[in-house]
Structure 1
Amino acid sequence: MAPPPVAFQGHVDFRMRLVLATLAGRPVRIERIRSDDVNPGIRDYELSFLRLLENVTNGSKIEISMTGTTVVFRPGQIVNGTYTHNCPLSRGMGYYIEPLLLLAPFGKAALSVTFKGVTSNGVDIGVDTIRTAIFPLYQKFGIQRQELRILKRGSPPGGGGEVQLYLPHVVLQAQTLHAAVRAPVVAKLRGIAYSTRVSPATVNRIIEGARRVLAGTGCETFIYSDAARGDESGASPGFGATLVAETKTGWCISAEAVGGAGGVPEDVGERAARALLDEIALGGMVGRNQVRALVVLMVLGREDVGRVLLGRDAIDAGLVRLLRAIKALFGTEARLRPADADAEWAGFGSAEPAPEPAAAEYVLSIKGAGFVNASKKIA
């Protein structure tokens, strides 16, 4: 007899609940999806994600109520494959790529998806951030050879972008992570400034604005320029920047900013640079846009305790909801404790004693659920 679905309420964390349910092999029932809203029920981008999830799995069953306020999802086997997905212009491609990164390594074969739509919109994680900061995080867990090729950039509202995501590495389980000894030291700063259907000089102005803010760090800084032209520039004008701080131990902390009609390129560069400095100042091994993937991958390891150092402000309501969903679906709990007083600060150039009490950083400990990829072909 099939177990009853695990019940959740609300539209928040819609994607993550479905991803966790697929990995755990547990059915879920999500109720009261915007039930008090003037326009209740799931949105077009959520329906699009359900279709994508149905494509990469075999045997999944999705039931949506007449009003769209209740979704029952019974997961099947992750098979991956080759697909083309047209993303609604209401969300960026990162909305769909992020959950696939968690599913694809635990499937039956390689995954190749061509996405069409908006590449970066300032709301969802941008494709440049995925390529330069999220991929290195997965490598810490033994997941390699991830590729994301940007064929066309597409700015909101018209989109017109196209990227190819290729995830060939299928693993049995994620490696256990032990990264709680000391906060990383930033070794160099990298980034990319891009534009679509505007003057090519725009990217230089973005870089100039970012360099003004980052000049005081004393770190080696290099920001690439990508001025898309012609058929590679999508349907709408736009520009933005993605900046990454690379540490000596291979961790990457990122931030991004997107500009639109009437925006000033220098301001976009400054916003991205200040956002990056804020992420570094939080402490811990990762930025806030990496925490959720980090926690899920720690759960998908063998039955061993993994540890990671997190900044205090990275522990927010979203992380608490994720840990509750993990407990409901995997039965695994996490433990948080203040870091040791002698932990070092994520400073520039060289390690310096932490200027704040140790409670500014916490050690997150999670015992792996002993997850094993039953879909992986055995040679």
Structure 2
Amino acid sequence: MGKTSYVRLKGSRQFRQRLLLATLSSTPILVEDIRSDDTSPGLQPHEVSLLRLIEKVSDDCTVEINETGITNDSKDSSVDTFRTTTLHMLKRFGVPLEGLMLKIESRGAPPLGGGEVVLGVPIVPNSLTAAHWVDEGMVKSIRGVTFSTRVSPQIANRMIYAARGVFNRFIPDVHIFTDHRSGPAGGRSPGYGLSLVAETTSGCLISTDVAVNYPKADETDVMEDSEEKPDMLPPEDVGVQAASTLLGEIEQGGVVDSTHQGLLFLLCALCPPDVSKVRVGMLTPYGIETLRNIRDFLGVKFVIKPDPTTNTVILKCVGCGMKNLSRKIA
């Protein structure tokens, strides 16, 4: 057996995406200098857990996961956005929605988490389907859900009232639901926030999240027992910020919002050797890095063409032909 040739990478930037692409493309990687300049260098606990999960799945083991963690924070998209927007993107690429579900058993806010979700994924067909997805449509409705854990239930109503005050000037079809959790279902830390999604006449879903929670402390027990805790953003400001951010995403155009650009490009690249064509708003730094990672790991290059009439960007590519080989051959 010859010596393994590794692709050498540095830093923690897009660590999860690089692991995913390396696994899909069977590319050995060596990641060095992970947070070498930080006070706490190296991998974070959630990254170690991801590595262990990938190792088990790649070895064709049966994995049962029952982890408690964070479901809503200010860094990543919430489980609400994942359920209402991310999962529905998959149907554009031929993934059946039957059996595709995400159930929120309990919510968890930073720093102590305590959230738990159940994710069900159906058997994906042999390959994805190339997509021609450029029609943005016009916004016809806005839906949303507030979350609140270990705080007053009235906070949710204050967020909704503030958000509707922004939307009522533009569109009447606005419905925002509440999800207040207490006890074990509310996790171990207080927090609240708002997840919004706009649906267009062509079926596009544009989403945004705003979450508020106490900052992470070096010693969470000290913060938990402390009588003086930092003030969190008022619920009214959360509602206005979430609504304004969603309007900004709509203004940018595209068939997905800025946080879903990376996933959209990845799905296009994994399609069969056929042309996929999609429209997005202004390319984000994360989206650009995703295009580079796709080129390096999958060998897929996108043709990028700005559309000055709509201030959007059209991207086209030929998929790498990734197939699902997880089933037994008769």
> What is the TM-score of this pair, normalised by structure 2?
0.88
How far does the alpha carbon of each residue in 1:6-65 deviate from its partner, in whole angstroms, 9 at most, with x for none? Answer: 22222101111110011111211222222333433222222122122223221xxxxxxx
How far does the alpha carbon of each residue in 1:123-175 deviate from its partner, in whole angstroms, 9 at most, with x for none? Answer: 12111010011011111111133211111111222222111111123221111
Q: Contact (CA 8 Å) 1:306, 1:368: kept in 2 or not?
A: yes
Is 1:334 matched up with 2:288? no
Q: Paired residue for 1:35?
A: 36
Q: Contact (CA 8 Å) 2:258, 2:284: kept in 1 or not?
A: no
Is 1:283 matched up with 2:253? yes
1:343-362 to 2 correspondence within 5 Å? 357-358=308-309, 360-362=311-313
| Partner secondary structure for residue 211 of structure 2 | strand
Q: Paired residue for 2:184?
A: 231
Is 1:202 matched up with 2:183? no
Q: Contact (CA 8 Å) 2:301, 2:317: kept in 1 or not?
A: yes
- Cα deviation, residue 321, structure 1: 2.0
Is 1:173 matched up with 2:137? no
- Cα deviation, residue 309, structure 1: 0.6
Superposition RMSD in Å: 1.8
| Partner secondary structure for residue 34 of structure 1 | coil
Aligned counterparts of 2:287 and 2:61: Cα–Cα separation in 1: 28
Q: Contact (CA 8 Å) 2:7, 2:28: kept in 1 or not?
A: yes
Q: Paired residue for 1:153?
A: 107
Aligned counterparts of 2:319 and 2:274: Cα–Cα separation in 1: 5
The answer for unaligned runs of 5 or more in structure 1 is: 59-78, 85-113, 340-356
Q: Paired residue for 2:226?
A: none
Q: Contact (CA 8 Å) 2:141, 2:171: kept in 1 or not?
A: no
- Cα deviation, residue 375, structure 1: 2.0
Q: Aligned partner of 2:305: which letter?
A: R
Match of 2:138 among 174, 182, 185: 185
Aligned counterparts of 1:161 and 1:246: Cα–Cα separation in 2: 28
Q: Paired residue for 1:319?
A: 287
Is 1:267 matched up with 2:237? yes
Distance change in 2, residues 1:34/1:156 (3 Å): closer
Aligned counterparts of 2:156 and 2:236: Cα–Cα separation in 1: 9
* Greater strand content: 1
Aligned counterparts of 1:359 and 1:214: Cα–Cα separation in 2: 23
Equivalent residue pairs, number? 310
Q: Contact (CA 8 Å) 2:71, 2:108: kept in 1 or not?
A: yes
Q: Aligned partner of 1:319: which letter?
A: G
Q: Paired residue for 1:21?
A: 22
Aligned counterparts of 1:20 and 1:32: Cα–Cα separation in 2: 20
Q: Paired residue for 1:83?
A: 64
- Cα deviation, residue 80, structure 1: 7.1
Q: Paired residue for 2:224?
A: none
How far does the alpha carbon of each residue in 1:301-327 deviate from its partner, in whole angstroms, 9 at most, with x for none? Answer: 110110001112xx1332222222212
Distance change in 2, residues 1:229/1:237 (3 Å): same
- Cα deviation, residue 216, structure 1: 1.3
Q: Paired residue for 2:222?
A: none
| Partner secondary structure for residue 258 of structure 2 | coil
Distance change in 2, residues 1:378/1:243 (3 Å): farther
Match of 2:73 among 112, 121, 135: 121
Q: Contact (CA 8 Å) 1:309, 1:363: kept in 2 or not?
A: yes
| Partner secondary structure for residue 319 of structure 1 | helix
- Cα deviation, residue 378, structure 1: 4.9
Is 1:134 matched up with 2:52? no
Percent identical across equivalent pairs? 38
Q: Contact (CA 8 Å) 1:300, 1:369: kept in 2 or not?
A: yes
- Cα deviation, residue 288, structure 1: 1.1
Aligned counterparts of 1:39 and 1:238: Cα–Cα separation in 2: 26
Q: Contact (CA 8 Å) 1:337, 1:362: kept in 2 or not?
A: yes
Aligned counterparts of 2:257 and 2:240: Cα–Cα separation in 1: 18
Q: Aligned partner of 1:373: which letter?
A: N
Is 1:217 matched up with 2:185? no
Q: Contact (CA 8 Å) 1:136, 1:251: kept in 2 or not?
A: no
> What is the TM-score of this pair, normalised by structure 1?
0.77
Match of 2:315 among 347, 360, 364: 364
Aligned counterparts of 2:88 and 2:201: Cα–Cα separation in 1: 13
Q: Aligned partner of 1:324: which letter?
A: R
Aligned counterparts of 2:195 and 2:202: Cα–Cα separation in 1: 21
Q: Aligned partner of 1:193: which letter?
A: T
Distance change in 2, residues 1:2/1:125 (3 Å): farther
Q: Aligned partner of 2:313: which letter?
A: Y
| Partner secondary structure for residue 191 of structure 1 | strand
Q: Paired residue for 1:303?
A: 273
Q: Aligned partner of 2:245: which letter?
A: A
Distance change in 2, residues 1:184/1:6 (3 Å): farther
- Cα deviation, residue 4, structure 1: 1.4
Aligned counterparts of 2:39 and 2:181: Cα–Cα separation in 1: 39
The answer for unaligned runs of 5 or more in structure 2 is: 214-230
Distance change in 2, residues 1:273/1:358 (3 Å): same
Aligned counterparts of 1:265 and 1:216: Cα–Cα separation in 2: 20
